[in-house]
Amino acid sequence: MNAHKLVQKILSGKSTQASRSLATCFAPTNIALIKYWGKRHSALNLPMTNSLSIALPNKGSRSTLSINHLGKDCYFLNGQEVEENTEFYRRLHDFCDFFRFKENYSFTIHTINNIPTAAGLASSASGFAALVLAFDQLFDWQLDKSNLSILARLGSGSACRSLWNGIVEWEKGNRDDGLDSFAFPYALDQDFLDSLCVGLLIFDKEKKIISSRQAMLNTVNTSVSYKQWPQQVEQDLSAIKIALEKQDFNTVGLIAERNALAMHATMADSHPSTNYCIEKTYAYREKIWALRKKGLAIYFTQDAGPNLKILFMRSLLKEVQEAFPESEIILR
Ligand code: PMV
């Protein structure tokens, strides 16, 4: 099954005529506590393992979609037109190809991100999720969330988790056509969820040194330690779920931090080796560990970029603000 056939299957019987002139939708970004790293099928973005994330409810992307009559797509990111000869334009264009139908539509998309783009803060996740919601609204398909999640996955794997607030699990699925690989919300006590805070330590806003897509591919193909990754994820996932159930934040934090470090270790021994860390990444990791030794229950996670995300309980907000005045704290 290729991606176009998969989309056709999901949209079979659905309208190819726009039901309105414009659709605007928001999707939150998400931060993985148990990471998605490595695909078993590249074109369908099928992952090797399940993953688990927490949404940042007010941080994400707002996408406005319309059909244009210019004969070509026009994309705007934060008010700036995306140039046609860029990788980003091509990615969006390939994604829009799924929805041109026999009418051969061209689209205009305006996306506003309130998070730095391409700095390891999953702006592509919220971007593709918001876009899928906008397609659904523009054509009035009224797809269920599982199917929206599959469509978002085709844009960027982690986008399939950006359709909900709270904790979300992406089930890897086993089918070759990818119809069983989608995310769903993970039920959790609301007070406990509300008490989970994320601090964004954004000390680097440069574009990533290498896309997560490419780094994942290198890792899967060449990393020796990656052979243990699926087993590591399985263990971490079941342990973090138990800790979430027990509302045991310290164990949640420890597992999330260990899982992120294990992911970065698999990249380190890939060829070519990938290191997303800069000096400040190491310095902040040390600072977090030192504060923890002193009794402050804070943990970090890190994605495909140098910036860290601090995980802590709301009861420690004042202490974290004092220790990291530069951090942008997301209260859930
Ligand atoms: O969705 P992608 O292709 O940008 O990959 C995201 C990978 C990580 O952010 C590193 C991990 C994750 O689960 O979000």
- Angstrom CA distances, 170 to 126, 215, 250, 256, stand at 15, 20, 23, 16
158 lines ligand 1 (CB under 6 A): yes
**Structure confidence at residue 46 as a pLDDT band (50, 70, 90):** very high
Residue 119 pLDDT exceeds 60: no
Q: What pLDDT shows up at residue 64?
A: 98
| C-beta atoms surrounding 175 within 10 Å | 11
Q: What pLDDT shows up at residue 122?
A: 62
Residue 255 contacts residue 239 (beta carbons within 8 Å): yes
Which residue owns the Cα nearest ligand 1 atom 10? 303
C-alpha closest to that of 327 among 280, 290, 293, 295: 280
Residue 287 pLDDT exceeds 60: yes
Mean pLDDT score across all residues of the chain: 95
Residue 102 CA to ligand 1 centre (angstroms): 33
Q: What pLDDT shows up at residue 89?
A: 96
Q: Which residue among 303, 308, 309 is best mutated to probe the pocket of ligand 1, counting the most ligand atoms within 8 A of its Cβ?
A: 303
**Structure confidence at residue 308 as a pLDDT band (50, 70, 90):** very high
Atom of ligand 1 nearest to the CA of 303: 10
Higher pLDDT, 203 or 118: 203
35 lines ligand 1 (CB under 6 A): yes
- Angstrom CA distances, 33 to 43, 63, 75, 323, stand at 25, 26, 31, 23
**pTM attached to this predicted model:** 0.96
Q: What pLDDT shows up at residue 300?
A: 98
Residue 248 pLDDT exceeds 80: yes
Q: Which residue among 37, 126, 266 is best mutated to probe the pocket of ligand 1, counting the most ligand atoms within 8 A of its Cβ?
A: 37
